[in-house]
Amino acid sequence: MIRKIWYLDSGCSRHVTGDKTKFAKLELKEEGFVTYGDNNKGRILGNGVISNESSFNIKNVLLVEGIKHNLISISQLCDKGFKVMFEPNSCLIYDAHGSIVLIGKRVNNIYLLDLHHASFSIHCLLTKEDDTWLWHRRLCHIHMQHFNRLNRKQLVEGLPKLKFEKDRVCEACQKGKQTKVSFKSKNVVSTERPLEMLHMDLFGPSRTMSLGGNLYALVIVDDFSRYTWTLFLAAKNDTFHAFKRLAKMLENEKSSKIVSIRSDHGGEFQNEKFEHFCEKHGINHNFSAPRTPQQNGVVERKNRSLEELARTMLNENSLPNFFWADAVNTTCCVFDECVFLPSFNV
């Protein structure tokens, strides 16, 4: 089994690994062989770049067939302008400006490096004008295409005029956004004004109660604008009262009536209170087919987005799962108990 840890090796002339998943960029091409200390040889399958979460890149890393260890060459680091200092318990790697970029730990008589957790322990979260990946982290790991769209339409004040490119792999995004292949999306908006159709769903309960005593979240998405309201609830039977308050507020604010709503057959939606309210206000209540969440895909996809953002922040900061409720609240409750979010999933 290939190890996750990298070995800092002063006797190795090139950076080598046998694991393709370590590369942010990889060019597959045979370049000959490398010779080991026992005169055995390994075939070179490619050459690429590895990186960590703080955007530190190591270039010219060889992919070697059959090698079971990941080796970082001290001599190759020095050739690239880095300064390597060995201490009794650690190995410090400095860049050309004298800043520590990597810290290896001594285990017995070997210096080991966990590349994705080896950056200097003090992180500066000050926003830099030219650091696109810091913006990626600060805005909950949204896709770089969304950054360019926000920039082009000037939807976020203070967002620098940069071209956001995905030039490396974000490990937190890979772990937090894995899903099955989705159904083919419908590229036609079937409504003509806001509040003509509202998609609703309830997710929860969270394994940990939030600081406000809530375990559930009611997510409502407007079909026309894709604006989203997220209401946090202590119990499922609070769903109707939360929707009733929001519906009255929206109709007064927008001077428009709700025409129809769409939900699944959950007991929080299919009940006498909802039926009476819809009949009284002339609202058409559409239900998706049982065990077919794809028919309510707009709000189901929004649930996925909210969960991805929270899960990604947990993965990035190595927090245990019982922080889930706080992460969801951090994602959704930026503006207190009722959040008005523009959709990132057009």
pLDDT at 37 (0 to 100): 75
Longest CA–CA span in the chain (Å) reads 85
- The residues spanned by each domain of the chain are 6-117, 132-168, 197-341
Give the strand pairing for 83-86 and 57-64. unpaired
Q: What global pTM score does this model have?
A: 0.47
For 44, the token pair is 């070179």
pLDDT at 320 (0 to 100): 72
The H helix count followed by the E strand count for the chain is: 8, 17
pLDDT at 292 (0 to 100): 83
Please state which CATH number belongs to domain 6-117: 2.40.70
Residues of the chain with pLDDT under 70: 1-4, 53-55, 116-130, 180-183, 186, 321-346
pLDDT at 38 (0 to 100): 77
Question: Is the CATH number 2.40.50.140 carried by domain 197-341?
Answer: no
> In sequence order, what are the residues at sequence separation of 6 or more whose Cβ sits closer than 8 angstroms to the Cβ of residue 280?
none
Q: Describe the chain by its helix, strand, coil percentages, rounded to 5.
A: 30, 25, 45
